[in-house]
Structure 1
Amino acid sequence: MAGHSKWANIRYKKERADAKKGKVFSRIAKEIISAVKLGGPDPKANSRLRLAIQRARAENVPNDNIERNIKKAQSAETANYSEFTYELYGFGGVGIICDVMTDNKNRIASEVRIATNKRGGTIATPGAVSFNF
């Protein structure tokens, strides 16, 4: 904590809560943008967008943010988010299928490799883990 100051303590608590919210909001924003790019801006015709909006409302994302992300996805200058599936073997040979969404394939590949190696796992060849399911 910050010490004896009441307002400093409030500030630190608020910073942690805001960081959690920001992480959730950015993840949902990526989902909405990806859904609009794949299926269009109409939630009635785009089931993926409808589900993303439902998740956003469940996480208390403001409607203004939802609408802004839909408009942002329709513009041409938006980064293209791609979805990738990584198949991993975790500690003890446990099969893991990891679906990720990113705008930079090289960065996420590096992050997945580092996290997997740090925990004692390996990246499997495509189809090796999904074969078991």
Structure 2
Amino acid sequence: MAGHSKWANIQHRKGRQDEKRGAAFSRVAKEITVAARMGGGDPAFNPRLRVAIDKAKAVNMPKDKIENAVKKGTGELEGVDYVEVRYEGYGIGGAAIMVDCVTDNKTRTVAEVRHAFNKYGGNMGTDGCVAFQFKHCGQMLFAPGTDEAALMDAAIEAGADDVVPQDDGSIEVLTPPNDFLTVKDALEAAGFKPEFADVTMRPEVEIELAGDDGARMQRLLDVLEDLDDVQAVYTNAAIDE
């Protein structure tokens, strides 16, 4: 999700993931299973699977759990038949929200997502109502203090779309979705390790929210992210910390 300070926002997200390690394992395992089912079990030939495995390693998911999740996706082990679904809606001040889910029961999932929107001041919309406000892309965020000129040179050479310095001192590197891993590998080889890296839905224009509106929006986003079937929540709200 976006934020007035991208750096502070990423730290908030990482802190919540650390607090909920068990939920993170379940979420990543689902992503690995779906990725393996769609593109095969070899991460060398399945970029989405490799991204999912990288996420699993980032939360210290045990190797055997990663391997079992892959095998469930390829059919080597019996597993749940998951489907992907996206819900769209509006939060505080009309800010756009997209919620990506992986579920074995869409009836349950849509009811939980709708309840969260309604209870915490949002409104669930129709398919496509806010998707046009986001761009599908690879996104990497580098810590304040990173050498901007050197990172820009390395990113351009690696094939990045854009390098965006942020007001908080962090630096954002954007890539086409299919080139995300290639650029990330090249930057890491050049000595630039991102604090956050994922293929995401990035808002084209942000809506700033502060004070009570910002707090209410953050609460809505947190509640949505805590739902068992939710994989990711995207918003164009820039919440002033």
Q: Which residue of 2 aligns with 1:21?
A: 21
TM-score between both structures, scaled by the size of structure 1: 0.79
Instruction: Write the distance in 1 (CA, Å) between the matches of 2:95 and 2:111.
Output: 21
Residue 63 in 1 paired to residue 63 in 2? yes
Question: More displaced, 19-28 or 119-128?
Answer: 19-28
Higher helix share: 1
Question: What SS does the corresponding residue of 1:125 show, helix, strand or coil?
Answer: coil
Counterpart code for 1:70: V
- Residue by residue over 1:22-55, the C-alpha shift from the partner in whole angstroms, topping out at 9 and shown as x without a partner, is 2111111101100011100111110011111111
* CA positional deviation for 1:66: 0.8
Residue 43 in 1 paired to residue 31 in 2? no
TM-score between both structures, scaled by the size of structure 2: 0.45
Q: Which residue of 2 aligns with 1:111?
A: 112
Question: What SS does the corresponding residue of 2:20 show, helix, strand or coil?
Answer: helix
Q: Which residue of 1 aligns with 2:89?
A: 88
Question: What SS does the corresponding residue of 2:86 show, helix, strand or coil?
Answer: strand
Counterpart code for 1:56: A
Counterpart code for 2:28: I
Q: Which residue of 2 aligns with 1:101?
A: 102
Residue identity (%): 50
Counterpart code for 1:66: I
Question: What SS does the corresponding residue of 1:108 show, helix, strand or coil?
Answer: helix
Q: Which residue of 1 aligns with 2:209?
A: none
Counterpart code for 1:34: V
Bigger CA radius of gyration: 1
Counterpart code for 2:128: G
Between 1 and 2, higher relative CO (CA 8 Å, sep ≥ 6) is seen in: 2
Alignment of 1:119-130 (within 5 A): 119-130=120-131
Question: More displaced, 47-56 or 95-104?
Answer: 95-104
Q: Which runs of 4+ in 1 moved over 6 A?
A: none
Question: More displaced, 29-38 or 60-69?
Answer: 60-69
Question: What SS does the corresponding residue of 2:42 show, helix, strand or coil?
Answer: coil
* CA positional deviation for 1:20: 2.6
Counterpart code for 1:64: D
Q: 1:78 to 1:118 in 2, by over 3 A?
A: same
* CA positional deviation for 1:82: 1.2
Question: What SS does the corresponding residue of 1:41 show, helix, strand or coil?
Answer: coil
Please provide the CA RMSD for this pair. Answer: 1.8
